[in-house]
Structure 1
Amino acid sequence: MLKKIRICLFVCFSLIFSLLVVADEHDSAPTQVSLLYRIQPGDVLNISVWGEETMQYKELRVLPDGTLSYPLTGVIEVKGKTIGEVSQLIAEKLKVFIPEPNVNVMVHAAEGNLAYVIGKVTKSGPISLLQDTTVLQALSLSGPFDKFADKSAIKIIRLHGGQQELIKFDYDEVSKGDNLNSNIFLKPGDTIVVP
């Protein structure tokens, strides 16, 4: 009986250890994003050229102006481009030095595509926009409203061409199925204010 208990404990500990190792590996893995994902300032990229050991660069951060420096290409504009477009752009510039370069670009961390929720919610702070996210979805990620929150006076502040735009959002209306046009898709840099 004691032998069976020891075997059972050994199997349980082995399973727990393997799950912890898998979780640890998952935390350090690149962010899984769609091929249609548009790169933003603040994102972190891994870029490599197949067969070129000296062209393997990890964790290159996109600068606030939307550019990135990569060897032999100089400064390149990557903001708003997909992973495929950036790969193609780098490959074109490298053709002068490397015949038929095979460039691989991966998003290590999508830190540039953030919106923010502030005010009377349980969890205020940044929200990653790894996929199309509406105001209602962002609010659901922020936890329940504070009991004093004015859900009918929520505002979205959006930077648009150097100007700030104010968009009104009435949670009570939208949750009833009314005024669904106000449940817009968020853009990087949007701030939802819950008064």
Structure 2
Amino acid sequence: MQGRFLFLILLLLSIISCKTPTDIVYFQNASDLEKINSSNSFTPVFKVDDVVSILVSASDMDAARPFNLQGASISLGENGGGETSSGATEPTYLIDEDGNIEFPVLGKLKLAGLTRVQVKEIIKEKLKVYINDPIVNVRLKNFKITVIGEVGAPGSYTIPNERVTVIEALGMASDLSIMGKRTNVMVIRENDGVNTYHRLDLTSKDIFNSPVYYLAQNDVLYVEPNESKVRESKANRNVLGVVLGIIGVALSAVAFIVGL
């Protein structure tokens, strides 16, 4: 009798947790061969505590050497760009709380709030006083996003190319589980110490025009559980409570018998 009752409970939970296609299918309102002109033009900017690599090179490497941190051995690549030699330490700089770095010879430079291209051009202009045709390579080294919640592989991911979309981030995290709520995915973004919260509906094509479709440095992507997952969690807690209660009663009975 107890086994039959437990079977009925499990069957009822499985029926309740069944999802319809409208709950799980992405981009449902996109028509066949429809073209979507995205209004996004996201370009990441440097922030406080970012780690930036800046490599200076030129045809005269002796002239460029003072502008690279000590320990970096620089050579010209096949395309004329600067490269660190094998085993060398790439010159990196930490942006301080005022948004600045201390650059060799040039001194204090303001990087916070600027794009990679803007930083590159500013440094090139300053170097022209010392070097003919300087080559400057700038990269953000710690571009990282975090994906948590109802996904296959939650965790933090380092992005090498400084550009990643919400869809790509979910792909890296092995997609949403069947229990993930696709209509209310949250992006948490910090700017100047203030967190802003954006909600996305993955079942709609409108996601492509969202201001957070392209993720920024240190963004957190959270997939909340759907109603079925919440009910299942509550049922599991109730079952666990009953089991623990039975165990407690049994142990009390055993203790009483031993006492007698």
| TM score, norm. by length of structure 2 | 0.48
Distance 2:150 2:96 in 1: 30
Q: Which moved more, 1:49-58 or 1:64-73?
A: 49-58
- Aligned: 1:150 with 2:181: yes
Distance 1:73 1:179 in 2: 43
- Aligned: 1:118 with 2:118: no
Distance 1:180 1:82 in 2: 23
Deviations 1:128-167, CA, capped at 9 Å, x for gaps: 1725433222212221323432333321111234321111
Corresponding residue of 2:194: 163
Q: Which moved more, 1:59-68 or 1:178-187?
A: 178-187
* Aligned Cα root-mean-square deviation (Å): 3.1
How far has the Cα of 1:192 moved from its partner? 0.5
Deviations 1:89-117, CA, capped at 9 Å, x for gaps: 33444456x2x54332224x533433221
Deviations 1:40-98, CA, capped at 9 Å, x for gaps: 522323233552133344322232444222222111012344555434433444456x2
Distance 1:62 1:142 in 2: 28
Cα gap change, 1:43 to 1:92, in 2 (>3 Å): closer
Of residues 47, 55, 64 in structure 1, which corresponds to 2:67?
55
**What secondary structure is seen at the aligned counterpart in 1 of 2:170?**
helix
Percent of aligned pairs with the same residue?
21
Residue type matched to 2:67 in 1?
A: M
Matches within 5 A, 1:75-86: 75-86=108-119
Distance 2:136 2:127 in 1: 14
Of residues 94, 107, 113 in structure 2, which corresponds to 1:74?
107
**What secondary structure is seen at the aligned counterpart in 1 of 2:213?**
coil
Corresponding residue of 1:191: 220
Distance 1:42 1:73 in 2: 18
How far has the Cα of 1:38 moved from its partner? 4.8
Corresponding residue of 1:23: none
| TM score, norm. by length of structure 1 | 0.61
Corresponding residue of 1:12: none
Q: Which moved more, 1:160-169 or 1:44-53?
A: 44-53
Cα gap change, 1:155 to 1:88, in 2 (>3 Å): closer
Of residues 46, 67, 92 in structure 1, which corresponds to 2:55?
46
Distance 1:37 1:185 in 2: 9
Unmatched segments (≥5 aa) in structure 2: 1-42, 70-89, 225-260
Corresponding residue of 2:170: 139
Cα gap change, 1:120 to 1:194, in 2 (>3 Å): same
**What secondary structure is seen at the aligned counterpart in 1 of 2:108?**
strand
